[in-house]
Structures are given as C-alpha cells and as structure tokens.
Amino acid sequence: MYSNFIVALEAVLPIAILIGIGLLVKKMHFLTKDEINHVNKLVFKILFFCLLFQNMYQADFGLAFQPRLLLFAFVAILATVAVAAVVVCYFETDNKRRGAMIHSIYRSNFIIIGIPVAANIYGHDKIAITAMLITVVIPMYNVLAVAIFETFRGNSIRLKPVLLGIAQNPMILGCVTGIIFSLCHIVVPDCILKPIFQVGSATTPLALILLGASFTISSVMRNKLSIALCTIARLIIAPAIILPVAVWMGYRDIELVSLMTVFAAPCAVVGFTMAQQMDSDYELAANCIIATSGFSCLTIFGWIFLGKTLGLI
C-alpha cells in the first residue's frame, strides 16, 4: 500500500513543481498579466488542438473494447454533470463562477494522474481497459466543458452561441480531427506528425506554469467556500456515489480501478485555461486544481486502500 501512496504522490508532485515554477515566474516579474493572457490564448487555440489531436490519433478504438464499461462511464459522467449543475446553481448565483465550479467537479485529470496509478497496481501490460476509456471520456469531457462554459458565459443563456462555441472550439476540433484520422486510417507523415506531437507535449507543462503565475492568495480567501465544495465533491462525494454503483454492477479489479482513475482523480489542468479563455472565473478554477491536486495524494491512497481491504481490486 505504501507503493500506491508513492505513485499517487509521484503523479501529483510534477504538477506541484510546475505550478511552483509559475509562482516563481510571477514573483520574478517575468510575465505581465497581459502577457500571461496572451500565452494562455496560445495554449488554448493551438497547443490544446495539437494535444487532443494526438490523443485521438494515437487511440486504438478497438483496444480491449468493452461497450458496457464505456456506457457506464458515459452515464456516470452525465449524471455527475447534472447533479453538479443543480447543486451549484442552487448555491451560486454568478454564472461565471457556476461554469468554473461545475467543470471542476465533473472533470478529472484522468490521463495525467489516473493512468499512472492504474499501471502501478496492475502493470503497464494490463491497462488496455484503462486506455480504452480515453476514447470516450476525453471527447465527452471536452464537449461537456465547452457546453458548460458557453452556457454560463456572461449573464444570459442562448442556445445558438452555445452550439456555435462548441463547433468552433479548438479542443473539439482537435478531438474530431484526430478521431477522423484514426478511424479512417489516414497516415500523417512523420515530418508533420512530429512537430504536432512536440507542440502537444508542451501543453500541460505550460498550462500549469501559467496557472501558478496567475495564483493569488486573495482569490483563495475570497473563494474558500467554493473551493472546499468543489474539492470535497471532486475527490470524495463523486467517487463515494459512483464507485459503489460500479461494484454493485459487478466491476472488479482493473475495470474498477479504471473507473476509479476517472472519478477520483483531481480536477483537470485544462480547466484553468478554458475558464480564462471562455470568460469564466479562472482564479476559482485555478484554486480548485491546486487544492484537489494536493489532497488527491491522500484520497486516491484512501480509495485504493479501501478497495484492496474489501478485496475488490
């Protein structure tokens, strides 16, 4: 069990280091607020397109295909969004904060943290099922994220701008393009693919550095109740509801761990960039990412320990 705690820590520690670099960038005044906004726009418009294209282009859609498991993940994510939207809209009146909070509650850092945890428990040769979830979870995350941020953008909710925003979003375009290329077996020459992948690989580190550079203590104090709600909902309440249902439906071992990595991992890093570029409360989104990433070392360890104690994983 100690090794599982170490793996959770090792998955979170690089995030903390990159955020720390961002804090240093801010302290040393390497970037002004306007420059941070411009670089964030670059990350959102270009880098995330490349990253999502890479994820979908490399995905094997026939790998360990389990439609029942995919359907469960699909329904569970929708249910999480629906419940989060009802609860957040009841307690929060500001639309911009609503979007950031709902996104923080439902969307996890599945790829960055989840897959390493699953690989540590069962080995890299047995995580095909975990990797399979990428083909459904990532596109779904992005469509829902754009829909949520567009819906709560400004002070009015209009269907046409929401649908237009979804269609024009770089992350959606990256996903769709990658899926088309993958399913149609379109081979991209290495001389073109390599720079796309290089740009994509810079997405998460740069997004985390910008997150750290945008961090302020005053925003934490101002948003402490919202941060606490999102952190508890993301790391404890959501998995405490979804994972027992998964057990009741018969999921065990790698299948259960795969679902655990989706529903018990901390907030997705992309939330900060999306919130800033789509007129949401990006400071609240950033604080939720930092808080959930820190506490997830303990909660992920707790979920794994509980699963092993009960003989489920």
Cα distance between residue 51 and residue 200, in whole Å? 4
Q: Is residue 184 helix, strand or coil?
A: coil
What is the average pLDDT across 206-212?
A: 86
| pLDDT value at 106 more than 90 | yes
> How many CA atoms are closer than 13 Å to the CA of 134, on its beta-carbon side?
29
Distance of CA 181 to the CA centre of its chain: 23
pLDDT at residue 156 greater than cutoff 60: no
63 pLDDT band (50/70/90 cuts)? low
pLDDT score recorded for residue 215: 80
Nearest to 260 by CA among 45, 114, 157, 86: 114
What does the alpha-carbon distance between residue 148 and residue 155 come to, in Å, rounded to a whole number? Answer: 13
Confidence of residue 7 (pLDDT cuts 50, 70, 90): low
pLDDT tier at 64 (50, 70, 90 boundaries)? Answer: low
Helix (H, G, I), strand (E, B) or coil at 108: strand
Most confident of 11-15, 234-238, 287-291: 234-238
**Average pLDDT of span 158-175:** 77
**Structure confidence at residue 256 as a pLDDT band (50, 70, 90):** very high
Mean pLDDT over all residues of the chain? Answer: 86
Q: Is pLDDT at 62 greater than 70 in this prediction? A: no
Rounded CA separation 14/113 (Å): 10
Rounded (5°) CA angle 299-142-174: 130
Judge whether residue 166 has pLDDT over 70.
Answer: yes
pTM score of the predicted model: 0.84
One of 1.20.1260.10, 3.10.580.10, 2.40.50.100, 1.20.1530.20 is the CATH number of 2-309, namely: 1.20.1530.20
Question: Which pLDDT value is given to residue 297?
Answer: 79
Per-state percent for the chain, helix, strand, coil, to nearest 5: 80, 0, 20
Does pLDDT of 238 surpass 60?
yes
pLDDT per position as a tens digit, 122-146: 876 677 788 778 878 888 898 899 8
Given pLDDT bands bounded at 50, 70 and 90, which one contains residue 172? Answer: confident
DSSP string for residues in 250-292: T--HHHHHHHHHHHSS-B-THHHHHHHHTTS-HHHHHHHHHHH
Residue partners of 28: CB distance under 8 A and separation at least 6? none
266 touches 109 (CB < 8 A): yes
Q: Which amino acid is at 179?
A: I
Question: How would you label 100-128 residue by residue, b for 16+ Cβ within 10 Å and e otherwise?
Answer: bbbbbbbbbbbbbbbbbbbbbbbeeeebe
Domain boundaries, the chain: 2-309
The reported pLDDT for the residue numbered 79 is 97
Mean pLDDT of 287-292: 92
- Pair 184, 58: CB distance under 8 Å: no
On the question of pLDDT at 16 being above 90, the answer is: no
CB atoms inside a 10 Å sphere around CB 304: 22
In the predicted model, what is the mean pLDDT of residues 192-201? 92
Q: Which residue has the higher pLDDT, 27 or 156?
A: 27
Whether the CB-CB separation of 108 and 263 falls below 8 Å is answered with: yes
Other beta carbons within 10 Å of 29:
7
170-208 core/surface letters (b: 16 or more CB in 10 A; e: else): bbbbbbbbbbeebeeeeeeeeeeeeebbebbeebbbbbb
User: Do the beta carbons of residue 126 and residue 92 sit within 8 Å?
Assistant: no
